[in-house]
Amino acid sequence: MIAALSPALVAAESSKTNFVDFDVPVWAWLALIGAIAGMLVFDLLAVHKTAHVITFKEAAIESAVWISIGLAFGLVIMWWHGGQAATEYYAGFLIEKSLSVDNVFVWAVIFSFFAVPKQFQFRVLFWGIFGALVLRGLFIVAGVSLIEKFEWILYVFGVFLLYTAVKIARHDEDKQVDYNKNVAMRLVRRLVPTTDRYDDQKLFTRIDGRRLATPLFAVLVLIEATDVVFAVDSVPAILAVSRETFIVFSSNAFAILGLRSLYFLLGGMQGKFRYLNIGLGVILAFVGVKMLLIGKPFEYHMPTWVSLSVIMFVLAVAIVASLMADKRDRERGIVTPTH
């Protein structure tokens, strides 16, 4: 994520596909990273200094604030480099935000599986978001670099997104997962001395003079492991709407920053969005086809505003259809599970 990387990596590709391409000075990268770090520290030390259960009202207010910040940064991009750049940013922001909803529901299952007290969940998610930002940055730089050096990788990404689209659309919400068998979880328990006792919201504690990891550390590792899987899906999807490293990273970062509050807002409501997985599958299939069309022999670049419109429409239809189905069930006296 260095300023010099961006034009070098995307110059040739942007000329073929009409993606925006601009020079990003070092100070702009430092300002972006500094702003993100500052907001995270303020959120941790001022807003959530003490461990407490996040209420629905608090989560709703914080979600609105984080979404507003993300949307406002798009206006900064528009002022800086024009409407096309802003459209690419908003398309990436919406893709990451919509795909992250599935991530939020996975967090809810993990916390429920390990019976993590609600007042400790925010601190785990804080470090989870911090790690996710670092991982996404690495994935984005690697993805842009691969596309620049190996044009055929577009087909690999496109086919992978189509495969993922089918997998997500057919995802079974009721399938039980034993996270104790997860590879990351087994490695943690084998390599890191761990206790079954919580010590407030600490990741590590001391018992009889020994430094041990608390269950929160194991849960954090598992959350980071699942985020790697989601990053493999979302980063190629965003690269279908933009190749400018600054836009891809910033849209991804601002979408991720609000996931903690979104979790507390939606964490127990996955049963109410029964058609969301289908909608996400359609979105991934769409961007997968879009990526396949960019390469040879088609070399067709769909306008970014069309991509943004399609993504917004599909997401809206999936949510409205889910809410209507949930309303019909309530009228018939059918109870919809929320976890």
Q: What is the pLDDT of residues 49-61, one digit of tens each?
A: 777 777 778 888 8
Q: Answer yes or no: is pLDDT of 260 > 60.
A: yes
What is the residue type of 137?
G
Domain that holds residue 297: 5-329
Distance separating alpha carbons of residues 157 and 170, to the nearest angstrom: 20
Using a pLDDT cut of 90, give the percent of the chain over it: 13
Q: Answer yes or no: is pLDDT of 332 > 50.
A: yes
Identify which of 273, 291, 311 has the alpha carbon closest to the alpha carbon of residue 235: 291
Q: Answer yes or no: is pLDDT of 77 > 90.
A: yes
113 vs 255: which has the higher pLDDT: 255
34 vs 265: which has the higher pLDDT: 34
Q: Is residue 334 part of a domain?
A: no
Q: Which residues pair with 171 in a beta bridge?
A: none
Q: Is residue 148 part of a domain?
A: yes
Q: Answer yes or no: is pLDDT of 3 > 80.
A: no
pLDDT at 7: 42
Using CA atoms in the order 207, 209, 210, 214, what is the torsion angle rounded to 10 degrees?
Answer: 30
User: Which residue is listed with tokens 């959120």?
Assistant: 43
Rounded average pLDDT over 167-178: 61
pLDDT at 254: 93
Contact 262, 101 (CB under 8 A): yes
Q: Answer yes or no: is pLDDT of 278 > 80.
A: yes
Contact 101, 67 (CB under 8 A): no
Name the 3-class secondary structure at 295. Answer: coil
Q: Is residue 131 part of a domain?
A: yes
What is the residue type of 325?
A
pLDDT at 15: 39
Q: Is residue 256 part of a domain?
A: yes
pLDDT at 85: 92
Domain count, the chain: 1
Q: Which residues pair with 211 in a beta bridge?
A: 206
Beta-carbon contacts of residue 114 (< 8 Å; ≥ 6 apart): 179, 215, 218, 219
Q: Answer yes or no: is pLDDT of 296 > 80.
A: no
Q: Is residue 335 part of a domain?
A: no
Q: Which residues pair with 116 in a beta bridge?
A: none
Contact 244, 85 (CB under 8 A): yes
pLDDT at 11: 39
Distance separating alpha carbons of residues 81 and 76, to the nearest angstrom: 9
Q: Is residue 195 part of a domain?
A: yes
Distance separating alpha carbons of residues 259 and 63, to the nearest angstrom: 8
Distance separating alpha carbons of residues 111 and 206, to the nearest angstrom: 23
pLDDT at 13: 44
pLDDT at 247: 93
Distance separating alpha carbons of residues 86 and 142, to the nearest angstrom: 23
Distance separating alpha carbons of residues 254 and 93, to the nearest angstrom: 7
Q: Is residue 54 part of a domain?
A: yes
Q: Is residue 73 part of a domain?
A: yes
Q: Answer yes or no: is pLDDT of 125 > 90.
A: no
Q: How confident is the model at residue 10 (pLDDT cuts 50, 70, 90)?
A: very low
Contact 132, 292 (CB under 8 A): no
Distance separating alpha carbons of residues 322 and 72, to the nearest angstrom: 29
Q: How confident is the model at residue 267 (pLDDT cuts 50, 70, 90)?
A: low
pLDDT at 96: 86
Q: What is the mean pLDDT of the chain?
A: 77
pLDDT at 67: 92
pLDDT at 2: 40
Buried b or exposed e, range 38-58, using 16+ CB within 10 angstroms: ebbeebeeeebeeeeebeeeb
Q: How confident is the model at residue 8 (pLDDT cuts 50, 70, 90)?
A: very low
Q: Please tell me the pTM assigned to this model.
A: 0.75
